[in-house]
Amino acid sequence: MSHVVVTGAQGFVGRALVKRLLAEGLGARAVSKLTLLDIAFDTPHADARAPQIAGSIADASVRAQAYATPVDAVFHLASIPGGAAERDYALGRAINLDATLGLLEDLRGAAHGARAPRFVFASTVAVYGEQLPAVVDENTLPAPALSYGAHKLMGETLVADATRLGWVQGCSLRLPGVVARPGDGAGLVSAFMSQLFWKLAANEPITLPVSPTGVAWWISVGACVDNLLLAATIDVERLNARRSYQMPVLRLTMEDVVNALAARFGEARKALVSYAPDPFVERLFAAYPPLRTPEAERLGLRHDGDVEQLITRAMAQ
Ligand SMILES: NC(=O)c1ccc[n+]([C@@H]2O[C@H](COP(=O)([O-])OP(=O)(O)OC[C@H]3O[C@@H](n4cnc5c(N)ncnc54)[C@H](O)[C@@H]3O)[C@@H](O)[C@H]2O)c1
């Protein structure tokens, strides 16, 4: 039986992860308690195993509440997105960096039985920055172009160090653009990547702020959750010293995704898409080179396989 903590449990990835943990458990073990941590919750969770703690991970007393029952695994997903962190440096640092360190330090001495708790950290492809080489691979040196990416990269280092110190058994995964986030994306510049799916399915028009040939790295929320679960359950002896992996991705143009959505929902839906490329958005979200991830794939981390599966799993929520 396991006690699992999820920070950012109300977020897009968090909700999908929570659903899977309650339905499937964690590896071979059932989840007896799943502590959900987020700033606020709309309603109590329907499952009695999932108590909610409303508060900030920056607050030590909130973290202490979450860790009050001995913890077997933490999925640390809470974060301030890149744009918001850029607008408010202090907030970005407090949540994306300081609170990550707090969550790790508070697990000092938390090992129960023979094992330190597993700690899975959602990092990001934003660690690579803007000047990407012709091919990105697992030896590409990160060069973050935003404080968000810089703090996530520091978080990866902290997870590896806390692992070395025996506080946790950590693993960071660098997430690409995860689809398909419901709703309007709450001001996220990358929201168009998800809205494309929902709009075409609903037979509604959409204007994309990138060109048809713009190339992005994609993963469905389902495949993303598969990878997070694997990172928390895989034999730790197999993990590298950095304790950090790039999630495998599908590299697709906007047109590839539009064509596949049209094949799924009706060819006429292609006409619903117009393009109004914005150089800033294109540079940040639609100019990705090939990405090679053999080390991650040997571990069992996976992308969706093909665009059809990406659509199916992106929309199965
Ligand atoms: N979704 C993506 O495409 C993507 C890509 C790269 C990396 N990531 C990373 O994956 C993780 C999950 O992403 P997501 O899309 O679910 O994000 P999200 O923004 O949908 O969810 C994050 C959650 O964290 C919560 N949160 C923010 N500050 C908090 C605080 N101080 N205390 C407690 N909770 C707080 C928010 O309320 C929100 O519910 C994040 O760490 C993100 O940086 C996501």
What does the pLDDT profile of the chain (317 residues) look like in tens digits?
799 999 999 999 999 999 999 999 999 899 999 999 999 999 999 999 999 999 999 999 999 999 999 999 999 999 999 999 999 999 999 999 999 999 999 999 877 666 899 999 999 999 999 899 999 999 999 999 999 999 999 999 999 999 999 999 999 999 999 999 998 877 788 899 999 999 999 999 999 999 999 999 999 999 999 999 999 999 999 999 999 999 999 999 999 999 999 999 999 999 999 999 999 899 888 999 999 999 999 999 999 999 999 999 999 97
The DSSP symbol for 55 reads S
Residues 260 and 173 in one domain: no
Q: What is the CA radius of gyration of the chain?
A: 19
Alpha-carbon span 215 to 132, nearest angstrom: 13
234 lines ligand 1 (CB under 6 A): no
Residue 263 lies in a domain: yes
Q: What is the pLDDT of residue 112?
A: 67
Q: What is the pLDDT of residue 278?
A: 95
Task: Take residue 202 and report the two structure tokens written for it.
Answer: 């609903």
Q: Which residue owns the Cα nearest ligand 1 atom 21?
A: 11
103 lines ligand 1 (CB under 6 A): no
Residue 276 lies in a domain: yes
Residues 207 and 242 in one domain: no
264-302 b/e (C-beta count within 10 Å ≥ 16 → b): bbeeebeebbebebbeebeebbbbbbebbbeebeebebb
Structural domains counted in the chain: 2
Residues 130 and 71 in one domain: yes
CB of 149 closer than 8 Å to CB of 127: yes
Phi, psi (rounded to 5 degrees) for 3:
-105, 120
14 lines ligand 1 (CB under 6 A): yes
269 alpha carbon – ligand 1 mean position (Å): 31
206 alpha carbon – ligand 1 mean position (Å): 25
Residues 267 and 236 in one domain: no
Q: What is the pLDDT of residue 94?
A: 98
Q: Which residue owns the Cα nearest ligand 1 atom 10?
A: 122
| Residue 270, domain CATH | 3.90.25.10
Residues 286 and 234 in one domain: no
Query: Helix, strand, or coil here: 21?
Result: helix
Residue 299 lies in a domain: no
Active site residue 148: yes
Q: What is the pLDDT of residue 114?
A: 66
Residues 124 and 205 in one domain: no
Residues 155 and 213 in one domain: no
Task: Take residue 119 and report the two structure tokens written for it.
Answer: 């700690």
Residue 297 lies in a domain: no
Q: What is the pLDDT of residue 144?
A: 96
Q: What is the pLDDT of residue 110?
A: 73
The span from the first CA to the last CA of the chain, in angstroms, equals: 26
127 lines ligand 1 (CB under 6 A): no
Residues 200 and 139 in one domain: no
User: Domain containing 143: what range?
Assistant: 2-177+220-246
Residues 235 and 111 in one domain: yes
CB of 106 closer than 8 Å to CB of 71: no
Residues 236 and 198 in one domain: no
Residue 94 lies in a domain: yes
Sign, CA torsion 35/38/39/41: negative
Residue 295 lies in a domain: no
Residues 170 and 265 in one domain: no
Q: Residue 235: how many CB atoms within 10 A of its CB? A: 7
Residue 300 lies in a domain: no
Residue 296 lies in a domain: no
Q: Which of 141, 160, 149, 24 is nearest to 101 (CA)?
A: 160
96 alpha carbon – ligand 1 mean position (Å): 10
Strand order in the sheet with 169-175: 52-54, 31-38, 2-7, 73-76, 118-124, 169-175, 244-246
pTM of the shown model: 0.97
Residues 59 and 168 in one domain: yes
> Could you give the C-alpha distances from 252 to 48, 267, 289, in angstroms and in order?
41, 19, 10
| Residue 8, domain CATH | 3.40.50.720
Q: What is the pLDDT of residue 113?
A: 62
